[in-house]
Amino acid sequence: MPTLETMTAGAAEPQLERPAKVIARNVNVYYGDKQALKDVSLDIEARSVTSFIGPSGCGKSTFLRCINRMNDTIAGCRVTGRIEIDSQDIYDPALDVVHLRARVGMVFQKPNPFPKSIFENVAYGPRIHGLARTKAELEEIVIGSLQKAGLFEEVKDRLDDPGTGLSGGQQQRLCIARAIAVSPEVILMDEPCSALDPIATAKVEELIDELRENYTIIIVTHSMQQAARVSQRTAFFHLGVVVEDGLTDSIFTNPKDRRTLDYITGRFG
């Protein structure tokens, strides 16, 4: 039996520079009878940023949701194939999904702070996962996460104010602080800047670049410029398949597949 490591992802798949954190093989996803992903195999490099690009409806969000099993929550959605994180099968029925979602955090397109204070938004995860034994420890986690998310200086005097009262860009950084408060290993970001202005976008991009030192990050984006700025690797999705993936530089300057070339040069999408 070949192991996942010995099976290559795509025929011409270039080697990763670092070990793979997430390995997907032959992943198919169906919503009822409709197939949204077809035989997707992909290696996601550890401690690096990978962009998912491709036209609307091609399956980027669907694949992202496979990685923390968010698709489990969608009625009629069925996933086949295999996905491993650090060689552990995340679809193993014995796996604790709540624990998986703490290891694999998610940031959505629309900032979605809880209707709670800034402090409580960040404290929520550590609290339910029992990560702090004392109030002081909890405060340390909350402040540290807000600092890592580049938000602390802007909110330190109003931690008890509602998170929903922040600007859009601040709310998105609050959601990033909330995601990193539980010390995830992987952070999934689904178009995290699409509701933000250029200044807030630049801040989030800067943050993503800092976070990759410690986290494996996957970002879905419709902005080719953003993919080029923030990611080391890029995967191009089209009609439910991964057409090609590799170093972001090579995907944008020297794509191997005609469909990738057409997409990045704006011929469709």
Q: Footprint of ligand ATP on this chain (CB under 6 A)?
A: 31, 36, 54, 56-62, 74
Choice between 66 and 207, CB closer to ligand ATP: 66
Q: Whole-angstrom Cα distance, residue 49 to residue 51? A: 7
Q: Least distance from C-beta 192 to ligand ATP, angstroms?
A: 13
61 touches 190 (CB < 8 A):
yes
For residues 39-65, one letter each, b for 16 or more C-beta atoms within 10 angstroms of the residue's C-beta and e for the rest, the string is: ebbbbbbbbbbbbbbbeeebbbbbbbb
Q: Whole-angstrom Cα distance, residue 71 to residue 73? A: 5
Q: Whole-angstrom Cα distance, residue 46 to residue 48? A: 6
Choice between 21 and 65, CB closer to Mg ion: 65
Choice between 24 and 177, CB closer to ligand ATP: 24
Choice between 61 and 170, CB closer to Mg ion: 61
Q: Which region among 59-67, 81-89, 209-217, 250-258 touches Mg ion (by CB under 5 A)?
A: 59-67
Is residue 221 close enough to count as binding Mg ion by CB under 5 A? no
| Overall size of the chain counted in residues | 269
Of 41, 48, 51, 61, the one binding Mg ion by CB under 5 A: 61
Q: Which partner, Mg ion, ligand ATP, none, binds residue 192 by CB below 5 to 8 Å per kind?
A: none
Q: Least distance from C-beta 241 to Mg ion, angstroms?
A: 16
Q: Least distance from C-beta 62 to ligand ATP, angstroms?
A: 3
For the chain, list the strands marked E by DSSP: 20-31, 34-45, 49-53, 77-85, 88-89, 104-107, 186-190, 216-220, 233-238, 241-247
Q: Which partner, Mg ion, ligand ATP, none, binds residue 59 by CB below 5 to 8 Å per kind?
A: ligand ATP
- Where on the chain is the footprint of Mg ion (CB under 5 A)? 61
